[in-house]
Amino acid sequence: METQLELDTPVDTGGKTPYDVTADVAGIKTLFVNVFFIGTPGYGNHWVLVDAGFMGYASSIKKRAEELFGPGTQPDAIILTHGHADHVGSLKTLLEGWNVPVYAHKLELPFLQGKSSYPPPDPAIGGGGMSYMSWVFPIGPMDFGDQIKALPDDGKIPELPDWRAIHTPGHAPGHISLFRDKDRTLIAGDAFVTTNQNAITAVATQREEFHGPPAYFTCDWEAAKESVQKLNNLNPAAAGTGHGVSVRGLDLKLGLNKLAHEFEARSIPSEGRYVKQPAVTDENGIVDMPAPTSFHVARVLGLSILTGVVGYAIWSVVKQND
């Protein structure tokens, strides 16, 4: 009885953050990308981690997990909305201490099991510093081997019986979002975001505004539009996204509805490598891609921005791990 009482004791979660979605879906920002902890806070309670954040943030993720669920905790599973480097950057380090299943959509597996690189970014679009720097972001192939498991085709997740995975491609071939029907809680990943992820100033201030997926890594714009419309049709009541603060209520309803109905004008660039022709992939990786557009100017601008950003990133990681 004493052990049970100890396990049920609430922990000091440190108060709500702008990235928490509901009372049992907490979030933190790792440099410029969010991860989420699904589970009721309390010592010994079960929980699941969604995404693994930016490289170098494993200790920050573990620290927040222990604040929520107690010392020595580990998740029942890790679910990846997709495998881009900013969403799996700390995964290898986390798995050195956690022996847990990791799930991703089957169309993400070639990029996570060493079979294929992702379609390369298009830094000439997006019109901001993050876009200009995107050509330096790693695209793999990454190889986590058999530690990555395919999500069931029906979207059901054994460790999250109240949730379902929804295929929301466009930003990545096997991108998924997570939805809980009973209270209409959504974890959207990068299917849509709540800051202008293309621009460094917006990323730094986290100014709330609804956008389609980060433009520079979106490889199928028609699929991206359909994914936003699919999520809007769910009428979510609260949502956490891969970039930007969490949103809920009327702000979410109006913002997502406007984005879904004005997606082409608000999100799709007028030109770019994947605008007229998407990348084609399958369960083995890249099948066909359109020819690259010129991005020499983007490289020059990106290099001029990169030095300062690298310095900030190093400072941020050091500060987070103090």
Q: pLDDT-based confidence at 319, cuts 50/70/90?
A: low
Q: Is the peptide bond before 141 cis (omega within 30 degrees of 0)?
A: yes
pTM for this prediction: 0.88
What is the domain-level CATH number for residue 157? 3.60.15.10
Lowest mean pLDDT among 83-87, 152-156, 258-262, 313-317: 313-317
Tokens 């990846």 identify what position? Answer: 80
Residue 198's pLDDT is 74
Residue 9's pLDDT is 52
Average model confidence (pLDDT) across the chain = 88
Whether pLDDT at 316 is above 90: no
Number of structural domains found in the chain:
1
- pLDDT tens for each residue of 90-116: 999 999 999 999 999 999 999 999 999
Domain span at 114: 2-320
Residue 300's pLDDT is 45
Whether pLDDT at 136 is above 70: yes
Whether pLDDT at 309 is above 90: no
How far is residue 52's CA from residue 81's CA, in Å, rounded to a whole number? 10
- pLDDT tens for each residue of 220-242: 999 999 999 999 999 999 999 99
Residue 202's pLDDT is 72
Mean pLDDT to the nearest integer, 2-26: 68
Q: Which of 256, 241, 249 is nearest to 36 (CA)?
A: 241
Angle in degrees, CA 320, 89, 37, rounded to 5: 70
Q: Which of 239, 290, 282, 288 is nearest to 260 (CA)?
A: 239
Whether pLDDT at 301 is above 50: no
Residue 156's pLDDT is 95
Written as six digits, the tokens of 94 are 């986390």
How far is residue 126's CA from residue 260's CA, in Å, rounded to a whole number? 18
Mean pLDDT to the nearest integer, 262-271: 93
Mean pLDDT to the nearest integer, 282-306: 69
Q: pLDDT-based confidence at 197, cuts 50/70/90?
A: confident
Whether pLDDT at 205 is above 90: no
* Percent of the chain's residues with pLDDT above 90: 72
- pLDDT tens for each residue of 27-65: 999 999 999 999 999 999 999 999 999 999 999 999 999
Residue 294's pLDDT is 58
